[in-house]
Structure 1
Amino acid sequence: MAHNHSHDHQHGPADGNYGRAFALGIALNLAFVAIEAAGGLWANSSALLSDAGHNLSDVLSLALAWGATRLARQPASERYTYGLKSATIQAALLNAALLYAALGIILWDAIDHLLHPTPVDGRIVMLLAGIGILINGFTAWLFRSGQQGDVNVRGAYLHMLTDALVSAGVVVGGGLVLWTGWLRLDALISFGILGLIAYSSWGLLRETVQLSLQAVPPGIDIAAVRQFLLARPGVTQVHDLHVWPLSTRDTALTAHLVRPGGADNAFLQALQAALQAEFSISHCTVQVEDTVPVAGGHGGCEE
C-alpha cells in the first residue's frame, strides 16, 4: 500500500499589514473613551457612559486582536508545530466574551438611570457623540479592505462601524432630550444601543465559538470538498476527511484518497493548488492509498 503525503504552506503576513491601523485605532479610541466618560459624568448621561464603556471594550478588543496577529507571525517550533496561529482564534473568542460582559455592566447602569432619572446636558451629549461618529467611522475605514478575509479584522471593522452608528443614535437622543425634556429618554436610548450591539455581535460570537471548537470554517462546504476530491483524476474513494481552522486566516485539511496506482508529484501539486484556489485551504496533508482500506482499519497513523 502506497502512502503519499502532500503538504502545502502559504503564509502571508499574519496581520495583513494592519499593524499601523490597529495602533492608530487604539490610540484614537482610547483618547476618545477618556473624553466621553468625563463628558458623560459631567452631563449625567447614561447614553454617553454606555457608549464610553462599549468603546473601552473595543480598545481592549483591538489590542487583543493586534497582539494575537503578532503572535501568529511566530514560526513553528518543536513544541508548537503549527506556530501560534491559533492565538487569533482565542483572541477573537475572548473579545466576543468581553463584549457581552461589558454589555451586562452597562445594562445595570442604564436600569439605574431609568429608575432614578436625573437631568441630562443634551448639548454635551450631542457634541461628544458627534466626535464619536468621526473617530469610529475613520477607524472602521482603516479596516474596511481586510474585513472579508479575517474574523479578527472583521471584528474590528464591525465594532467600529457599529460604534459610529450608535454615536449617531446618541446625537439624535441628545437632541430629543433637549427638545422634549423627558429625562428617562436617555436611559431608553441606552437600552436601544445595548440591543443593537448585542444583535450585531451575535454572529461574531457564534463564529468564534465554532472556530475555537475546530469546526469547519464558515464559507467552506465539507460536502463540496469531498465531491471535489472525488472528482480528481483516478480517485475512487475519500475517507478520514478533516477540515479545520489553524487561525482566523489559515485553514488545514487532511484526507485519505483511494487512487489505484498511487499518485505522483504532479497529481499532488495540482491538488494543492486546486484546494487553495477553490476553498482557500492553505495547508493540506493527503495520504494516497492504492487499495480500499479494510473496514475499521483506518483513522489513525499508518506506516
Structure 2
Amino acid sequence: MGHDHSSHVKTYGKAFAIGIGLNIAYVIIEVLYGLAIDSSALLADAGHNASDVLSLVFAWFAMSIAQKRPAQKYTYGLRRSTILVSILNALLLFGAAGVIGWEAWNKLYEPVEVPGTQLIIVASIGIVINTLTALLFIKGQKKDLNIKGAFLHMAADAGVSVGVVAAGLLINTTGYHWIDPVTSFLILLIILYGTWQLFIDSLNLALDAVPKNIDYLEVERFLSSHQHVRSIHDLHIWAMSTTENVLSVHLVVAEEASDDLLKRIKHELHDKFGITHTTIQLEQSRLDDSLSSNE
C-alpha cells in the first residue's frame, strides 16, 4: 500500500487583513452617507459589503485553522473547515440579497429623493477599494474555492459600485428617483448570479463529490493505461479542503510490477490532476495466480 501526503497552502493572511480593514472603513462611510441622504442603493450596498467583511473574516479564520496539524480526534486536521466556510459565505450572501430586495421593494413604491452627486462620490470610493481588494485574491481564486469566494465577493462589490455610480448619473440627468431602488434590484441579481455557483460547488465538496476540476473517467483511464495494471476498482476521489484533493484506489497488478510503478503513479496523479493525497492498495492479478497454479 502506498500513501502520499503533500500540501503547499498559501494562507493569504496579509491580503485578508488589508481587505478586511479597507472594507470596514468603506461600510462605515456608506452607512453614514446612506442614512444621511436616505439612499436604498447605498444602504443596500453597505449591507452587502458588511456581509463581505464577515465572509473575509470567516475565510481567513478557516484558512488559519486548516493549517493545524492532525490530532487523535481530527486525524485529517481541520482542513474541511474551508469547505464549510465556503457554504457559510454563500448563505451570508443569500441573506444579504434578501435584505436588499426587501428594502428596494419598499422604496420602489415610495421613492425617496436622493442626491445623485453624493451617490457618485461614495460609490466611486467603493470601486477603488473593492477593485484593490479583489486584485489581492485574483491569483489564488482559480485554485482555491475559499479564495474564489473572497474574490467573487469583492469583484461583485466593484461591479455593484459601478452600478451605483451609473444610478447617480441617471438621477442627476433625469430626476427619476425610482432609479435608486431599481439599482438595488440589479445589485440583487448580480449577487444571486455569483453566489449560486459558489453554493453548489461548496455543497458538492461537502458531500464528497468529485472536485469540479477533476475528470473521474480521465483518472480511471490514466490508471488503467499503465503497463502492469490489469484492472482497477474502488476508485474514490474527493476534496479534503478547498485546495487539497484526495484519491484512494485498488490496483490489480501483474506479479512483475516494480516498486517504481507506485511511485510513478502517485507523482503523475499529483502533476496531471492536482491530487495531493493518494492511498493505493496493490493486489496481485488473479490471472497470474491461475497461470502459476497451472504450471
TM-score by length of 1: 0.92
Q: Which amino acid in 2 is paired with 1:38?
A: L
| 1:121-270 paired onto structure 2 within 5 Å | 121-261=115-255, 263-270=257-264
Provide the secondary structure at the position in 1 that maps to 2:212. coil
Provide the secondary structure at the position in 2 that maps to 1:241. strand
Q: Deviations over 1:141-190 (max 9, x none)?
A: 11111111101111111111111111011001011112211121100111
2:4 to 8, 12, 37: 8
Contact kept, 8 Å, 1:262 with 1:288, in 2: the verdict is no
* Aligned position for 1:272: 266
Provide the secondary structure at the position in 1 that maps to 2:251. strand
* Aligned position for 2:290: none
**Which whole-Å CA distance do the structure 2 matches of 1:53 and 1:22 have between them?**
19
State whether structure 2 residue 42 is matched by structure 1 residue 18.
no
State whether structure 2 residue 98 is matched by structure 1 residue 101.
no
| 1:43-122 paired onto structure 2 within 5 Å | 43-122=37-116
Identical-residue share of aligned pairs (%): 45
**Which whole-Å CA distance do the structure 1 matches of 2:227 and 2:281 have between them?**
15
**Which whole-Å CA distance do the structure 1 matches of 2:280 and 2:232 have between them?**
10
Provide the secondary structure at the position in 2 that maps to 1:236. strand
Alpha-carbon distance change, 81 to 263 in structure 1, aligned in 2, over 3 angstroms: farther
Unpaired runs of at least 5, structure 2: 288-295
* Aligned position for 1:300: none
**Which whole-Å CA distance do the structure 2 matches of 1:292 and 1:174 have between them?**
75
**Which whole-Å CA distance do the structure 2 matches of 1:24 and 1:264 have between them?**
51
Alpha-carbon distance change, 263 to 83 in structure 1, aligned in 2, over 3 angstroms: farther
Q: Deviations over 1:185-221 (max 9, x none)?
A: 1001110111111112221111111111110001101
Provide the secondary structure at the position in 2 that maps to 1:119. coil
Contact kept, 8 Å, 1:6 with 1:287, in 2: the verdict is yes
Aligned residues: 287
Structure 1 residue 123: Cα displacement: 1.5
Contact kept, 8 Å, 1:262 with 1:290, in 2: the verdict is no
Provide the secondary structure at the position in 2 that maps to 1:84. coil
Alpha-carbon distance change, 27 to 262 in structure 1, aligned in 2, over 3 angstroms: farther
**Which whole-Å CA distance do the structure 2 matches of 1:216 and 1:17 have between them?**
24
Instruction: Indicate the larger mover: 195-204 or 270-279.
Output: 195-204
Unpaired runs of at least 5, structure 1: 294-303
Q: Deviations over 1:247-293 (max 9, x none)?
A: 00000000011112175431111111010001000000010111359
Instruction: Indicate the larger mover: 195-204 or 210-219.
Output: 195-204
Contact kept, 8 Å, 2:137 with 2:151, in 1: the verdict is yes
Q: Which amino acid in 2 is paired with 1:147?
A: Q
Provide the secondary structure at the position in 1 that maps to 2:142. coil
Runs in 1 of length 4+ with deviation above 6 angstroms?
Answer: none
**Which whole-Å CA distance do the structure 2 matches of 1:91 and 1:196 have between them?**
21
Greater share of helix: 2
Q: Which amino acid in 1 is paired with 2:81?
A: A
**Which whole-Å CA distance do the structure 2 matches of 1:93 and 1:33 have between them?**
23
Q: Which amino acid in 1 is paired with 2:206?
A: S
**Which whole-Å CA distance do the structure 2 matches of 1:264 and 1:18 have between them?**
41
Q: Which amino acid in 1 is paired with 2:8?
A: G
RMSD: 1.3
Provide the secondary structure at the position in 1 that maps to 2:3. coil
Q: Which amino acid in 2 is paired with 1:269?
A: K
Provide the secondary structure at the position in 1 that maps to 2:4. coil
Provide the secondary structure at the position in 1 that maps to 2:5. coil
